Structure 1
Amino acid sequence: MTAESFVQPIATMATVVDRKSPLPAWAQVERDLRALIDQKLEIGSRLPTENELASIYGVSRITVRQALSGLADHGYVERRQGTGTFVADRPRLVQHDFGLMTPWRDRFRAAGETAASVHLQDSAVENEPYELSRELPVAERETERLHKKRLHMVNGRAIGLTDSWLAGRAVAAVRDIPLIEASVSKTLEAVGLVPTRVEHFLEVRSVNSSESTLLQAGLGSQVFADWSIGRIDGELIETSRTVWLGSRVRFHYATGLHGAQTLRAE
């Protein structure tokens, strides 16, 4: 394959950097190349040189180098000394089924994966966000909360981040004890507080700066944000926000013959 043949497809499909965008130029280039790799480019394909990419996107070589570094960090490309940058064979997307009652870590371990959550005990305490509090009656918004933050990992890679705000009986029950396997749900179960109903609200957005750091993801990365409200016979026990990194998790949604629904993250 000639050098020109590596350049032409990218040049045809690339989206030029928007100078008016608040997103840094390197992040725009990284995002665009990531999309091209996901949708168009085959594993093993060689990318244009830094000079060629700089010309295609209208940016400096330093900007291109930063974008390629981010892609390499996330497993999208492999940089080979003296030969160039190639599309990497990325690890498969993580599979996670919300429709099952078994905790996600246990399902992964049963499948031979290494799955764990880390309780970020030194993280700053965060107030319950408006996206959750607006779904609650005024009286419940004013009750005490206990904040817990956990980072979720599979095979050593961060895939998600959960903030929980415990309420009601859960505050006193959990305040002075360590989380079992860094899991709020397992800890609540151990003290006899298992929600009988959990509502979920799902949306897609970009990571914020804190999430970008903890998930080791670029600022342009997309996440699935799952907001939930858990109750025991109507009594508020927990609200939470979980963000799943879109480049490492995907969702599957199905309906059965009688309208049964399953929402699965893969």
Structure 2
Amino acid sequence: MTVEDTRHPLAVKVTQVDRRSPMPAWAQVERDLRSVLDQGVEAGLQLPTEKDLAAMYGVSRITVRQALAALSDRGYVERRQGMGTFVADRPRLVQHDIGLMTPWRDRFRAAGEDAASVHLADAAPEEEPYDLVRELTPAERSGTRLHLKRLHLVNGRPIGITDSWLAGRAAETMQGRELVEASLSKTLQHEAIAADQVEHLLEVRSVNAAETVLLDTGIDSQVFVDWSIGRSGGELVETSRTVWLGSRVRFHYSTDLEGLHRP
């Protein structure tokens, strides 16, 4: 059931709490308000009072208070003592080229942003996921793999995690090797063994427990997952899985419609 509150400038369309859902009532309220704020509400605008929100959602003020606390922890709102709750001025989303060809760190640095990757050298080795293995030829599935893990940040905020599994000559070369600027692609280019052909598969899913810790996000957050397979001269170089946090990253592409209609 949806209710519209036309008295407030937000014109909040409220999806009332589903009592049959396994998700707690406060989490449903927080999710609903977050979806409204994600639509581009102006920073500084005051939200309805706890009493009004409780009436709109059909829940207690304690439930609303929990939801607002969660929104505050995520940086969506600011709670001012004795004044109320206000829409926070959140950092803009990091925009990534959907072609996945341009080194994202270089592009953001050129724009004056602080973009960096951190090599998590102490991370426990992980097996190559089946989602990648099933895309390989029987010959490519054999042989040892070297696992590397990196955390990606923009202005100190984590936006993504990349796990790579190096094969063949790349695995032998990178064993015990320090990465250039924590970048595997730059290091492989320096060694002249970088992939010259990369196949990408993109999907959306919820974060897992380990990702919530590294990305400093909630358990119900969504991520874009980029599965990739890189080859050089037909030889497998690496497979990788990169998760981009959906609340901090969006993908960009443009289409030349004029070119499509040229004879």
Question: Cα distance, 1:179 vs. partner?
Answer: 1.4
Q: Which residue of 1 aligns with 2:7?
A: 5
Structure 1 CA distance, aligned partners of 2:18 and 2:151? 33
Structure 1 unaligned spans of 5+: 260-266
Q: Which residue of 2 aligns with 1:39?
A: 39
Q: Which residue of 2 aligns with 1:113?
A: 113
Q: Secondary structure of 1:95's match?
A: strand
Report the identity percentage: 67
Question: Cα distance, 1:26 vs. partner?
Answer: 3.6
Query: CA distance change for structure 1 residues 172 and 108 in 2, over 3 Å: closer, same or farther?
Result: same
Structure 2 CA distance, aligned partners of 1:66 and 1:120? 34
Is this contact kept in 2: 1:28–1:220, CA < 8 A?
no
- After superposing on structure 2, the runs of 4+ consecutive aligned residues of structure 1 that deviate more than 6 Å are none
Task: Please tell me the residue identity of whatever aligns with 1:172.
Answer: E
Query: CA distance change for structure 1 residues 125 and 49 in 2, over 3 Å: closer, same or farther?
Result: farther
Normalised TM-score (structure 2) = 0.86
Structure 2 CA distance, aligned partners of 1:125 and 1:102? 28
Is this contact kept in 1: 2:97–2:253, CA < 8 A?
no
Q: Secondary structure of 2:162's match?
A: strand
Structure 2 CA distance, aligned partners of 1:8 and 1:153? 32
**After the TM superposition, which residues 52-131 of structure 1 pair with which residues of structure 2 at under 5 Å, given as runs?**
52-99=52-99, 101-131=101-131
Question: Cα distance, 1:55 vs. partner?
Answer: 4.3
Q: Which residue of 2 aligns with 1:140?
A: 140
Query: CA distance change for structure 1 residues 231 and 26 in 2, over 3 Å: closer, same or farther?
Result: farther
Query: CA distance change for structure 1 residues 252 and 77 in 2, over 3 Å: closer, same or farther?
Result: same
Query: CA distance change for structure 1 residues 25 and 191 in 2, over 3 Å: closer, same or farther?
Result: farther
Q: Which residue of 1 aligns with 2:16?
A: 16
Query: CA distance change for structure 1 residues 60 and 236 in 2, over 3 Å: closer, same or farther?
Result: farther
Is this contact kept in 1: 2:227–2:240, CA < 8 A?
yes
Q: Which residue of 2 aligns with 1:195?
A: 195
55-64 vs 153-162, which deviates more? 55-64
**After the TM superposition, which residues 19-30 of structure 1 pair with which residues of structure 2 at under 5 Å, given as runs?**
19-30=19-30
Q: Secondary structure of 1:195's match?
A: coil
Question: Cα distance, 1:62 vs. partner?
Answer: 4.7
Query: CA distance change for structure 1 residues 100 and 147 in 2, over 3 Å: closer, same or farther?
Result: closer
Is this contact kept in 2: 1:70–1:218, CA < 8 A?
no
Q: Which has the higher contact order (CA 8 A, sep 6+)?
A: 1
79-88 vs 122-131, which deviates more? 122-131
What root-mean-square deviation, in Å, do the aligned CA atoms of Structure 1 and Structure 2 show?
Answer: 2.5
List per-residue Cα deviations over 1:113-161 (Å, max 9, x = no partner).
Answer: 1011111222222211121111112332232111111111111111111
Query: What is the number of residues matched between the two proteins?
Result: 255
Task: Please tell me the residue identity of whatever aligns with 2:230.
Answer: G
Task: Please tell me the residue identity of whatever aligns with 2:167.
Answer: A
Structure 1 CA distance, aligned partners of 2:232 and 2:66? 49
Is this contact kept in 1: 2:98–2:253, CA < 8 A?
no
Task: Please tell me the residue identity of whatever aligns with 1:143.
Answer: G
Normalised TM-score (structure 1) = 0.85
Is this contact kept in 2: 1:227–1:239, CA < 8 A?
yes
Q: Secondary structure of 2:7's match?
A: helix
Q: Which residue of 2 aligns with 1:49?
A: 49
Structure 2 CA distance, aligned partners of 1:232 and 1:149? 21
Structure 1 CA distance, aligned partners of 2:133 and 2:58? 44
Structure 2 CA distance, aligned partners of 1:74 and 1:86? 13
**After the TM superposition, which residues 184-223 of structure 1 pair with which residues of structure 2 at under 5 Å, given as runs?**
184-223=184-223
Is this contact kept in 2: 1:31–1:221, CA < 8 A?
no
